[in-house]
Structure 1
Amino acid sequence: MTNPALMRKMTRYTAWADDVMLNNAAKLPAPELTALRDTLFGSITGTFDHVLLIGEIFRDHLEGRSNTHTTRHRAEERAFNIVARELRAMNDYYVALADKWAAEDNGKALNETIRFTFVGGGDGSMTREEILLHLVNHATYHRGFVSTLLYPFRLDGQANDLTVFLRDVWPGLVRTDPSLTQ
């Protein structure tokens, strides 16, 4: 059973929460953002770039294109400002997709199954809704990890919790566009 309103809410939450964490991280000096750390993706920027790369992979799947990525991380570290700009654009892309699919035949477009090959090999199939949920969950996991990496710097950063979004952001979005709840 699909829930178009939930997909619209969760893609907006992801875009907002990623923006919060990108703004929090941007308070650090640039060298700290790319400093090598004992982490799977090498740095704070590398972790954000991994989230972006997974979004790129699933965008290719959803658009029926062959995936050009062969791993879940890039070979070379990219600049934080480039990753931040591209991640924000990717989030806008998924917000627009959720809106489009929610409007198509009362959300039935979210039920369409997408078949693909995983980067690590093997066949995959997920509905559009499952892909969106995966991306939301995946980004949340990595934002938590970035929070751990930022903690030693004692930054005065904004919280990115779903509860904060639901309290402070979502009501304003719904006032502006009541159709978000449909």
Structure 2
Amino acid sequence: MSAVRNIRMLTRYNKWANNMLLAAIATLPPDEVTKQRAAAFGGMSFALAHIGIVDQIWRAHLLGIEHGLKSRTTESPDALVLLAEKLNQMADWYIQYADRMSEPLLNEKVHFSFVDGGAGEMTRGDILIHVCNHKAFHRGHIGDMFYQSGYRPPPIDLPVYIRDAFNESELG
């Protein structure tokens, strides 16, 4: 098992988990999606928007370009349909990026500036792991919001993905 294989698998897992969660969110009453809560980022749509913003930031770092963002949050998240579209486009980008990686490229250092202005340095592999882990972290927050609303989130753990959707042959 190699780091390249794992990164490729994790990017695909993230797209699958996002889509499972987005499909479940789409079945909720609309006010549950936008409802402000005592939770990370205040609500489902805000958490989804944050995931997308952070994906944009790290993509820019990986590409060595400026992202132009001043915050990791938004005051007014897009509608669920648009959020889902943006998250899927970003997931596809990360899958394609991971598919171009090799062990030497994963170990290459990337220098960047955090949104707050501090300097940072991580390997490409560490950035990709962080991006995947970050999404999982906030999907957990959203899952908790389901329970707060009296609904059950979909099962989106990695073992469920491996059982239900994973295809080793996609990893190259």
User: TM-score scaled to structure 2, two decimals?
Assistant: 0.92
1:16 is matched with 16
- Unaligned segments of structure 2, at least 5 residues: none
**Is 1:129 equivalent to 2:129 in the alignment?**
no
Question: 1: distance between equivalents of 2:65 and 2:141?
Answer: 30
Question: Could you list the per-position Cα deviations for residues 18-63 of structure 1 after superposition, in whole angstroms to 9, with x for gaps in the alignment?
Answer: 1111111111122221111122312101101101110000111111
How many Å separate the matches in 1 of 2:87 and 2:81? 10
| Of 70, 88, 113, the match for 1:117 | 113
Aligned-residue identity in percent: 33
Residues 55-96 of structure 1: CA distance to partner in whole angstroms, max 9, x if unpaired?
Answer: 000111111211211111013232111111101111111011
Greater CA deviation, 134-143 or 25-34? 25-34
Equivalent residues, number: 171
Structure 1 portions without partners, runs of 5+: none
Partners of 1:148 and 1:35 in 2: how far apart?
13
Match of 2:54 in 1: 54
Contact 2:62 2:110 in 1 (8 A): yes
- Contact 1:24/1:155, CA 8 A, preserved across alignment: no
Q: Could you tell me how far apart the structure 1 residues matched to 2:170 and 2:32 are?
A: 42
4+ long deviations beyond 6 Å: none
Give, in whole Å, the separation in 2 of the partners of 1:42 and 1:8.
31
8 A Cα contact 1:4 1:110, kept in partner: yes
Read off the aligned partner of 2:7 and give its amino acid letter.
M
| Correspondence list, 1:1-182, <5 A | 3-102=3-102, 107-155=103-151, 157-170=153-166, 173-174=167-168, 178=169, 180=171
RMSD between aligned residues: 1.6
Answer yes or no: is the 8 Å Cα contact 1:70–1:119 preserved in 2.
yes
> Is contact 1:113-1:128 (8 Å) kept?
yes
Question: What is the Cα deviation at residue 158 of structure 1?
Answer: 2.7
